[in-house]
Structure 1
Amino acid sequence: MTDFRDLSLQGLWKNNPALVQLLGLCPLLAVTATFINGLGLGLATMLVLIGSNVTVSLVRNVVRNEIRIPVFVMIIAAFVTIVQLLMNAFTYELYLALGIFIPLIVTNCAIIGRAEAFASKNGPLASAYDGLMMGLGFTAVLVILGGMREILGAGTLLTGADRLFGPIAENWTIVLFNTENPFLLAVLPPGAFLGMGLLIAIKNSIDAKIAAQQTAPTEKAARVRVTAES
């Protein structure tokens, strides 16, 4: 029986595609100049993950082992094409902003990795949930990194929200501070590398503290036992 709680922890934290597996870093670092760009690409990736996971799970027993990888890639490419056409139709300006990185979702190792490691071995419901959690984990890193870079670089947040949410979001831009000279280090690619490194360092630090808290009672009990025996 699939442990959905464990799937949630794996996708959002323990096995996060961006922070732990370090997969899909090219689009992650390239498009996260703003919060909305990161959110748009994250949602697109999540939809592809869910759709491809479910489809792979449904056909896993009828696809021969020798051709499974090409079949998985074709399935992923089909869902990427669907998402690309939908974005072209309904979020055209965001589609132009993300550019080549939408079709490049096909080459995202996180997607083919989940299809091979999980969806090909589990049922549709568990595979859909796994895709959702992995997609949410990847999207969270995209929006956090994009928000950091937008705030540091331009002093704003949610710039261009109307490109994703439509005319209703034209006034959603939050101006935190005004600057005549944007902080280019945050806006340009080096800022993405530095921001990503900071996020990974924060996660590793939290993991280390959690591990220390979990081992402390065990070590204390061991010392008490040794003292009692002596």
Structure 2
Amino acid sequence: MNKLDIFKNGITKENPILVQQVGMCATLAVTTSLLNGIGMGIAVIAVLTGSNIVISLLRKFIPDEVRIPAFVIIIAAFTTIVDLLMHAYTFALYQALGVFIPLIVVNCLILARAEAFAFKNGVVDSIIDGLGMGAGYLVAMILLSSVREFLGNGTLFGINVLPASYEPMMIAIQPPGAFIILGLLIGLVNYLSRRKKA
């Protein structure tokens, strides 16, 4: 697989949210606003790419018997770095995302990429995989959060884009709305991918 295919794979064929449906806890919880979705997407890109680099560098030194605990420690280190940076420089976003930043440690997307890709490939390919999977996660978060914020508040980035007479669909920013909108987006992606193959 060439490097462009590795990158595109995370956005299209193996999109973490819209195709694989992994890491859904934070996806459903924080996508009530576009800013939150982008913030969480960037945090996941940073942790995923950083942990992929270190795991790929250490892959020949980590014994198979302890690889999963080693992966978790590496991922936890990068999650802590991102958590502290967000706390220092983007405090409002840090407060909005709350407990879901530390929960990146147990996001199955990051652990799956460590196991399936970074532990078996070189550093450059692992960086590209981390960026591609992270970009796919970010794209899905942007799609879901923009639809939820638009329908639920009539805003994007907190700015009114619909007339004052718009009656918000409150369900869109509530948990059931997250499931419904995500299900519709996944259905649309499945429909488009089947049409493309036909």
Q: Same fold (TM over 0.5)?
A: yes
What does residue 199 of structure 1 align with? 185
Question: TM-score, normalising length from structure 2?
Answer: 0.97
The total of aligned residue pairs comes to 198
Deviation at 1:179, TM superposition (A): 4.6
What does residue 26 of structure 2 align with? 27
Matched-pair contact (CA < 8 Å) for 1:155–1:179: no
Structure 1 CA distance for aligned equivalents of residues 165 and 132 of structure 2: 37
Cα 1:179–1:23 shift into 2, 3 Å = farther
**Counterpart residue identity of residue 90, structure 1:** Y
Q: Deviations over 1:47-73 (max 9, x none)?
A: 000000000000000111100110000
**Counterpart residue identity of residue 189, structure 2:** K
What does residue 64 of structure 1 align with? 63
Structure 1 CA distance for aligned equivalents of residues 174 and 163 of structure 2: 19
Displaced runs of 4 or more, over 4 A: none
Structure ID, larger Rg: 1
**Counterpart residue identity of residue 190, structure 2:** N
**Is it true that 1:184 corresponds to 2:170 in the alignment?**
yes
Question: TM-score, normalising length from structure 1?
Answer: 0.84
Structure 2 CA distance for aligned equivalents of residues 58 and 46 of structure 1: 18
What does residue 109 of structure 1 align with? 108
Matched-pair contact (CA < 8 Å) for 1:156–1:177: no
Q: Deviations over 1:55-98 (max 9, x none)?
A: 00000001111001100000000000000000000000110000
Structure 2 CA distance for aligned equivalents of residues 178 and 79 of structure 1: 43
1:151-162 matches, within 5 Å, as: 151-159=150-158
Matched-pair contact (CA < 8 Å) for 2:41–2:138: yes
Matched-pair contact (CA < 8 Å) for 1:150–1:187: yes
**Counterpart residue identity of residue 182, structure 1:** P
User: What is the aligned-residue RMSD (CA, Å)?
Assistant: 1.1
**Counterpart residue identity of residue 63, structure 2:** R
Identity of aligned residues (%): 50
1:155-170 matches, within 5 Å, as: 155-159=154-158
Q: Unaligned stretches of 5+ in structure 1?
A: 160-172, 213-230
Higher relative contact order (Cα pairs below 8 Å, separated by 6+ residues): 2
For residue 22 of structure 1, give the secondary structure of its aligned residue in structure 2: coil
Q: Unaligned stretches of 5+ in structure 2?
A: none
Structure 2 CA distance for aligned equivalents of residues 179 and 109 of structure 1: 42
Structure 2 CA distance for aligned equivalents of residues 187 and 178 of structure 1: 18
Cα 1:44–1:179 shift into 2, 3 Å = farther
What does residue 130 of structure 2 align with? 131
Deviation at 1:187, TM superposition (A): 1.1
**Counterpart residue identity of residue 190, structure 1:** P
Deviation at 1:174, TM superposition (A): 4.8
Q: Deviations over 1:140-169 (max 9, x none)?
A: 11111100011111111012xxxxxxxxxx
67-76 or 178-187: bigger deviation: 178-187
**Is it true that 1:42 corresponds to 2:41 in the alignment?**
yes
